Structure 1
Amino acid sequence: MSWDVEAGATWHAVIVDLLARVNFALGDELPDEINKATAPIGLDVTIYLVDHEQQRLWPLPRQGKPPPPPMSVDGSLAGRAFTSVRTQVPDPDTAPYRMWVPLIDGAERLGVAEVLVDPPPADRTRFQRWCESLVGLLGHLVAVKMPYGDSLHRARRTRAMSAAGELLTQLLPPLTFSAHRLSISAVLEPCYDVGGDAFDYAVDGPIARTMVLDAMGRGLRAGLTGATALGALRAARRDDHGLYAMARAADAALTEQFPDLRFVTGVLTELNMDSGLLRYINAGHPPPLLMRGAKAVRELPGGRRLPLGIEDSRIVVGEEILEPGDRLLLYTDGVVEAYDQGGDRFGVERLVDLAERCAAAGMPGPETLRRLAHSVLAHQDGPPTDDATLLLLEWSPQAAERTQL
């Protein structure tokens, strides 16, 4: 049937029916329940989830329909919708009318939705807005169902996850968060076999806090060390302690749990968006990079102390005044210490060059980090020997808008 964009009551009925259908639906039942709800208005919807590598988009199967093949994020129109967070229309004059709509939960990119309707709608602009609203709801529903079963997790995995990877990835927040005044993005590689890298963030009122951690060693033991530090830091932060007390809490937890001396390097930051004051502690870690405009202006050298887990009474909190629009890039040493076959190090210079080019192109934060991480992996000769984690804080409303439809 023709989809009448003026039929608000019909649209409302579809949304009500969809919410009723998915209330008790399992994760693997979502695709069929979605299409039962949208059938009365002639919409056919296929959900594609991005894999953890952020390289391919994988369709969620539907009963009685052979699944379409997965699509590459790079080089496909569906992938362009994912990377740009903008709806793509292949050919507006072809029936059925097709759109690729980004599937996001808040600002977290989950994949894309293919929306088909035949015949093409008369008012395509309004039709697109309605469909983007629908797919926005679907993104929330996928995220809500994710923790309660394994089918949606399996859809995003192309190989087995290690025990350490499973432990840490379940402790981490979403890769992207946006609010009115900032956007925070992160990425962690290798995504299936994390050693001891971790990241975290929290935004409350005008205060935005971030951290990147790198536990010594590899495998499950490093994962347990990183998880202990992350838990201690997060608990202290939620008890409203400042950076100094957070670092002390991590010292105490690591010393208590690992008497054989297990330590974690890391950077803890706290940005007051009302004043622009950035306070930070660097516990034996690569210094943060400050970007202004599309240029990396300097490394932040202050706030130095010994790694977490090694008591240091000389903790000094570094300070820097940021300007609206600034970017702060945190990373672990696995990024810059990746080597190619000839022994050439990826290095800070290469990281800065790529970050500046992405900034000059106005690329959204999550897409910037996806490309940086893939560049690090492509540079290496063979499997990674260390975790590589990046976190980008962008202090501007425009940065947040670039992560939204």
Structure 2
Amino acid sequence: MSDHPVSVGTLLRAAAPDRLPEVVADHLRRHLAADRVEVLLTDLMVRSLTPLLGPPETDTEPGALRCLGSQQPGTEIDAAGRARLHLPLSCWGERLGVLRVELPERPGPEQAEQLRTVADELAVALRAADRMTDRYRTAQCRQRPTMAAELQWDLLPGRSLGDDRFLLAGQLEPAYDVRGDHFDWALAGDRLTVTVLNGAGEGLEAALITATAVNAMRNARRCGADIVEQAELASDALHSRYGGSVHAATLLLEIDLVGGWVDAVDAGSPHCLVGRSNEISQVRLEQQLPLGMFGETRYEIERFRLEPGDRLLVVSDGVHAAAPGGSPPFGESALLTALRGTRLQPATEAVGTVMRGLREFHAGAEPEDDAVTVCLDWRR
């Protein structure tokens, strides 16, 4: 029989989906002499952390929050030489939370590598287990979402995605009472498809309109259709169901991650901007009919090009058209101010900065619409 311990990946795959934190904690105590282990998950807005092994109270420790923001491990040594480590829990660019481990002393290089492996294995397992148990979603929610919000969050692809070519992030607000705004994405080789959608109406009805459009676009995309066919199938599905009484304003993008070319179908109100060096400009596209307005609507592709290092930002009308109290719309100047404040931030932080600027713009007033911000950094 081998003397080598069973790998943490093997243990996680054999565990019940709701027991992953306990499996990791037991493994680290047995094989790395950990005194204490905590698994911290982000809330829906990736602003705070909630422990899964301790009392379910928001964790505000600066080291954990720094690790979440920087996506880099951090180590703190106390006066007695004991070590507290924070390691990011991330999976394909999706920031899930932080693994905290307390050890009797600073770990050596081999131990540090083992800890990084444990964090990586746990992140993948948590992502896979999310559909099998409510434990992790419950920890992410600060309050009970509306039925519309529940439907929208289950429909989202995640909150970020990335590799060495790009980093993509999206944010949807208000988190617990959204209406019809939505974003979607899918990666296939060197092609990245991104859509931002604003379904008409309020509450659950708006969410159902969005769900119909999004699933129609996914159905077409998964059968190899381009963004024109995706838009046309979704438009026909909505028109067949609602007879033109409702529609979904949508921007569909397909990005070539090698050459930087972007194919676009502008079917409504979402706006597209590009940040290049210190300049921010709107991509001027010919606005075509929103999805579902008329039967058998046909769409056309427009094309523009990104340069290495460019930032592509897409915002729904809940962002660019927000005008609380009759003020000038957020998109006229305040959005550009918020975007300039993101210059040194990764896309995963930039979406939060834009949304924070939008909340401050409302000055405590209740937003009249939900809002989506999607940010892509093309690294090439």
Normalization by structure 2: what TM-score? 0.91
Q: 1:35 aligns with which of 14, 17, 25?
A: 25
Q: Matched residues in 1 for 2:98 and 2:80: separation?
A: 20
Q: 2:99 aligns with which of 108, 113, 128?
A: 113
Q: 1:86 aligns with which of 50, 69, 72?
A: 72
Unaligned runs of 5+ in 2: none
How many positions carry a matched residue from both structures? 375
Q: 2:46 aligns with which of 30, 35, 54?
A: 54
Give the SS at the match of 2:26.
helix
**Would the alpha carbon gap of residues 131 and 24 (structure 1) be closer, same or farther in structure 2, given more than 3 Å must change?**
closer
Does 2:55 correspond to 1:67?
yes
CA offset digits 1:289-333 (Å, max 9, x no partner): 01112431x211124201111238563322112212222111101
Q: Matched residues in 1 for 2:278 and 2:88: separation?
A: 26
Q: How does 1:16-27 map to 2 (within 5 A)?
A: 16=8, 19-20=10-11, 23-27=14-18
Match of 1:304 in 2: 287
Q: Matched residues in 2 for 1:291 and 1:84: separation?
A: 22
Does the 8 Å CA contact 2:346/2:377 hold for their aligned counterparts? no
Q: Aligned letter for 2:142? A: T
Q: Matched residues in 1 for 2:326 and 2:245: separation?
A: 35
Q: How does 1:81-160 map to 2 (within 5 A)?
A: 81-91=67-77, 94-121=80-107, 123=108, 125-160=109-144
Does 2:379 correspond to 1:393?
no
Does 2:252 correspond to 1:258?
no
Q: How does 1:193-232 map to 2 (within 5 A)?
A: 193-232=177-216
Q: Matched residues in 1 for 2:84 and 2:360: separation?
A: 34
* Identical-residue share of aligned pairs (%): 28
Q: Aligned letter for 1:34? A: V
What is the CA-CA distance between 1:118 and the residue it aligns to? 0.5
Q: Aligned letter for 2:75? A: V
Q: 1:353 aligns with which of 324, 333, 337?
A: 337
What is the CA-CA distance between 1:92 and the residue it aligns to? 6.4
Unaligned runs of 5+ in 1: 1-8, 398-405
Does 2:150 correspond to 1:166?
yes
What is the CA-CA distance between 1:348 and the residue it aligns to? 4.0
What is the CA-CA distance between 1:22 and the residue it aligns to? 5.4
Q: Matched residues in 2 for 1:120 and 1:329: separation?
A: 42
Q: Matched residues in 2 for 1:313 and 1:32: separation?
A: 53
What is the CA-CA distance between 1:250 and the residue it aligns to? 1.4
What is the CA-CA distance between 1:341 and the residue it aligns to? 6.3
What is the CA-CA distance between 1:232 and the residue it aligns to? 1.1
Match of 2:160 in 1: 176
Q: Aligned letter for 2:25? A: N
CA offset digits 1:328-372 (Å, max 9, x no partner): 11110111233456846433422222223312x2x2211111222
Q: Matched residues in 2 for 1:68 and 1:152: separation?
A: 12
Q: 2:301 aligns with which of 282, 297, 317?
A: 317
Does the 8 Å CA contact 2:232/2:298 hold for their aligned counterparts? no
What is the CA-CA distance between 1:115 and the residue it aligns to? 0.9
Give the SS at the match of 1:13.
coil
CA offset digits 1:154-201 (Å, max 9, x no partner): 111111111111112111111111133222211111111220011111
Does the 8 Å CA contact 1:305/1:314 hold for their aligned counterparts? no
Normalization by structure 1: what TM-score? 0.86
Q: 2:322 aligns with which of 320, 323, 338?
A: 338
Does the 8 Å CA contact 2:341/2:353 hold for their aligned counterparts? no
Q: Aligned letter for 1:118? A: P
Q: Aligned letter for 2:129? A: K
Does the 8 Å CA contact 2:39/2:99 hold for their aligned counterparts? yes
Q: Aligned letter for 1:191? A: A
Match of 1:6 in 2: none
Q: Matched residues in 2 for 1:315 and 1:303: separation?
A: 11
Does the 8 Å CA contact 2:238/2:292 hold for their aligned counterparts? yes
Does the 8 Å CA contact 1:326/1:394 hold for their aligned counterparts? yes
What is the CA-CA distance between 1:38 and the residue it aligns to? 1.6
What is the CA-CA distance between 1:153 and the residue it aligns to? 1.0
Q: Which moved more, 1:92-101 or 1:33-42?
A: 92-101
Does the 8 Å CA contact 2:248/2:290 hold for their aligned counterparts? yes
Q: Matched residues in 1 for 2:286 and 2:326: separation?
A: 35
Match of 1:375 in 2: 357
RMSD of aligned C-alpha atoms? 2.3
